[in-house]
Amino acid sequence: MVLLFQIISLFTLAATLTSLLLSKAWWIRMFDFPRVQIMVLMLLGVAGLFVFSDVTHGLNVVLIFLVLAAFIVQFSYIFPYLPIARKEMSDGQNDGATSISLLMSNVLMENRDAEKLIHLVRHYQPDIFLAVETDAWWADKLQVLENSFEFSVKHPLENTYGMVLFSKLPLENVHVEHLIQNDVPSIHADVTKDHFAFKLACIHPEPPAPQHSATSKPRDRELMLMAKKTNWNASPYIVIGDLNDVAWSDTSSRFAKLSGLRDPRKGRGFFNTFHAKIPFMRFVLDHAFFSHHFKVIALKRLPGINSDHFSALCSMQSVGSLTIPK
């Protein structure tokens, strides 16, 4: 029994040290994701050593000390997202005229239960709805939403990187870009509500995983290019999508710093969207970043739709009446 808790403790130490490496290899970057889960294992390992072993034994003393030090390192990454931390974005009020709601969903391309998602969208009635991993089948099924959304951009693909964007608000200067790879699109548009205009970018970079990319370089490069596009832009800006990265990774931190965009989850909670079917292994993969022109009304993780992702809803309040510089 003591050996089991020593192995658990050693694994958490190795996982923590591995996550600090600068390598882009997928098997190293995967340790950016389960920081909360690793912290739980750390507590389990230390508790087991206290209960079942002689904690005065030199090896156990060193092991417990190292695990507690590693726990502090892990905690420093996730602390900004706890409700006890300072909010990065101020609270807003839903006064109707200046509120904007966005619903985003990774549908899981092979999922063929479109009705659950359609019901979700009709129930929450967002101003903007983004669906990713949409192939031609999904694009066809979601056409019924055109009765509720006057504007749409459809770019279905059979490679899990298709996108469909619906909007009740006017879309202008709409264009599809391929920031890094020809088969990984992103949608860009100028959006207007009353006298408030903002730029919208919808992205879904390739994940660092053996079946997709052996390294995180494509994802990281796309995020950095998107950040340079935003780069403290004078216009209000929103970037949404499945970023295939956790909010507390070094890449996400660099993205936020370079872009000047803010994360509404900081000081409010994780709102984990993946994996919907494995409760213990859930992370923040679906993101929404906002410029300083927005306040937060509400954030919600929505019920499952038979995808491996939960959908997410963001309700924001715009600050002032602005137009996009020409």
Q: What distance in Å separates the CA atoms of residue 161 and residue 132, rounded to the nearest whole number?
A: 7
Based on the domain organization, do 131 and 63 belong to the same domain?
A: no
**End-of-domain residue from the set 81, 110, 133:** 81
Based on the domain organization, do 236 and 291 belong to the same domain?
A: yes
**End-of-domain residue from the set 81, 112, 131:** 81
Q: What distance in Å separates the CA atoms of residue 152 and residue 149, rounded to the nearest whole number?
A: 7
Based on the domain organization, do 73 and 104 belong to the same domain?
A: no
Based on the domain organization, do 139 and 186 belong to the same domain?
A: yes
Based on the domain organization, do 134 and 48 belong to the same domain?
A: no
pLDDT at 320 (0 to 100): 67
Residue 54 lies in domain:
2-81
Q: How many CB atoms sit inside 10 A of residue 260's CB?
A: 15
Q: Report yes or no on 76 lying in a domain.
A: yes
Based on the domain organization, do 39 and 169 belong to the same domain?
A: no
Based on the domain organization, do 103 and 51 belong to the same domain?
A: no
Q: Report yes or no on 63 lying in a domain.
A: yes
Q: Report yes or no on 268 lying in a domain.
A: yes
Based on the domain organization, do 137 and 224 belong to the same domain?
A: yes
Q: What distance in Å separates the CA atoms of residue 215 and residue 222, rounded to the nearest whole number?
A: 13
In the chain, the number of structural domains is 2
Based on the domain organization, do 40 and 188 belong to the same domain?
A: no
Q: Report yes or no on 199 lying in a domain.
A: yes
Q: Report yes or no on 255 lying in a domain.
A: yes
Residuewise pLDDT in 10s, the chain (326 residues): 888 999 999 999 999 999 999 999 999 999 999 999 999 999 999 999 888 877 677 788 899 999 999 999 999 999 999 999 999 999 998 776 579 999 999 999 999 999 999 999 999 999 999 999 999 999 999 999 999 999 999 999 999 999 999 999 999 999 999 999 999 999 999 999 988 999 999 999 999 999 889 999 999 999 999 999 988 777 899 999 999 999 999 999 999 999 999 999 999 999 999 999 999 999 999 999 999 999 999 999 999 999 999 999 999 999 865 555 44
Q: Report yes or no on 269 lying in a domain.
A: yes
pLDDT at 54 (0 to 100): 74
pLDDT at 322 (0 to 100): 52
Based on the domain organization, do 106 and 252 belong to the same domain?
A: yes
CATH number of the domain residue 156 falls in: 3.60.10.10
The set of residues, in sequence order, having a beta carbon less than 8 Å from that of 96 and lying 6+ positions away, is none
- One-letter identity of residue 309: H
Based on the domain organization, do 125 and 238 belong to the same domain?
A: yes
Based on the domain organization, do 35 and 117 belong to the same domain?
A: no
CA distances from 231 to 208, 217, 228, 247 (A): 25, 20, 5, 18
Give the sheet arrangement for strand 312-318, strand by strand.
151-155, 163-167, 128-132, 99-106, 312-318, 294-301
SS3 126: coil
